[in-house]
A and B are shown apart, each in its own frame.
Chain A
């Protein structure tokens, strides 16, 4: 199990605000890693930096031994990193099938899709995510749970090695959330490395073996969910200082 992603001294400043402050960590191949932190901790910014949506102020990111700092998102996707967004995004006038077909048409997706045909490949992905019976309808009529599934389905078209999931459970009911959890576990079993955020800890802590905690843009600690949940700084960030109540 080698390292698939290596982040070194990554910093991002927006004017006077340091959203991500000197963060370093590694993700091993095939790992299932969580990233926690309260609102505004800089989780999404960190994702944006890895994915190339924003340029870091300083620091390096290496993926699969290659320096990917400063590459554009579509170049990064074609190297094998895919992501989903915190808000649901879809191509609203395309059918569900075409929504997925778009990423199958990227250079990286094409390599796989050309063996099967784009439509067949997209259908396979839909079957895996449980959307296949909705292939011909536009996403505007989908319930929120299916839209979350679609987010993941869209990212799978480009055949990612590393999947960045930004808050995959936000706004879901319990049952919907279960379905997504199952899907994510299935992907992990297929050998996709998964890096996932959440500010709601319940689902995330049950799923992942290793967690990184971030507070106010700074790296706090990493370890098993239990260790991290008992870390003093993490507890303070989530619950506030406890002296007066203990």
Chain B
């Protein structure tokens, strides 16, 4: 049996080979293709509207993926995920506008705040399960919205209007695009890695059977809170980027609608897949953008499309889409 250091050395030395193998596999080449596609998109167009759509979709991808880690992998279905988005957004905006922080450090503190909120939220909702957890998180989100909109607290929390007129991340949309893209790639690498590591197995065991997991000697309290914190970290990252991209933030960010966005996008792409969240987010953003011209009935059309998608793909669109692609891929390679 190899010992710890030997195994570690094998892993490090074996990585180039593993990478070569991975990149030739279907999944690997698809991933690389997507990344190259996203990297080269600004070469096709520098139209700030299209770039803006992509930036929004990428921010939402991070947000939905963070929800997927919590709900899809740990089984804690949160209906108040916008809390992370909002808190991180507010902290980032506050530091950026009133304290003249560099955007990176402002973002860092925003994310840090979201991690602490994750700790608190995880601790508060520890004993809640299923619909009660959903209700609990939903209500906490609504409380946040009301508190941030309170008039008496206006000197601290800026009331209804929130904070607006943030300094722009960069004068060029292309630069913002690449900044967000880098954060998105990092997020997905980290999150997918987490689900494959031991801690991912423990998260999944908590999702499948809490009692069984505890009977296996796992401190489930600890891992549930860790899941909330990791999820909060990435949702906070999305929140900070969202605030900086929109250059404003208001209490409306806490409304349940934004929490539902995460659920819609992750479920659309496929639960417990992480990468499905990206697909779901892009679909979501493009669909809303396409139907925005039909003003009053845009929501109606969008909802109907959602129902049709859910009717035919109970597990999200990612898996069937990948299977179709793989068929085409196999035909192209003449297999």
**Hey, which bits of chain A sit against chain B, CB under 8 A?**
51, 53, 72-74, 77-78, 82-83, 85, 89-94, 98-99, 101-103, 105-109, 114-118, 120, 154-155, 157-158
Contact = CB atoms under 8 A, between A and B. Distances in A.
A105 B212 contact: no
A155 B218 CA distance: 12
21 contacts: A73-B214, A74-B214, A74-B219, A74-B220, A85-B212, A89-B211, A90-B212, A91-B205, A91-B213, A94-B205, A94-B208, A98-B201, A98-B204, A98-B205, A101-B198, A102-B218, A103-B217, A114-B4, A115-B1, A116-B1, A158-B217
Contacts of B4: 114
A89 B198 contact: no
B1 A117 contact: yes
Contacts of A158: 216-217
Contact of B213 (A85, A102, A109, A120): A102
B290 interface: no
B3 to A, nearest CB: 7
A161 to B, nearest CB: 13
Interface of B: 1-4, 7, 198, 201-202, 204-205, 207-209, 211-220, 272
Contact of B216 (A114, A115, A157): A157
Contacts of B2: 117
Nearest to B201: A98
Contact of B212 (A106, A118, A154): A154
Contacts of B216: 77, 102-103, 106, 154-155, 157-158
B209 A90 contact: yes
Contacts of B204: 91, 93-94, 98
A91 to B, nearest CB: 4
Contact of A101 (B1, B201, B207, B217): B201
B1 A118 contact: no
B202 A102 contact: yes
Nearest to A116: B1
Contact of B215 (A51, A101, A109, A118): A51
A90 B204 CA distance: 12
A89 B209 contact: yes
B218 A93 contact: no
Q: Which of A74, A83, A114 has the most CB of B within 10 A?
A: A74
Contacts of A77: 215-217
Given A91-B212, A116-B1, A118-B198, A105 B218 contact: yes
B217 A109 contact: yes
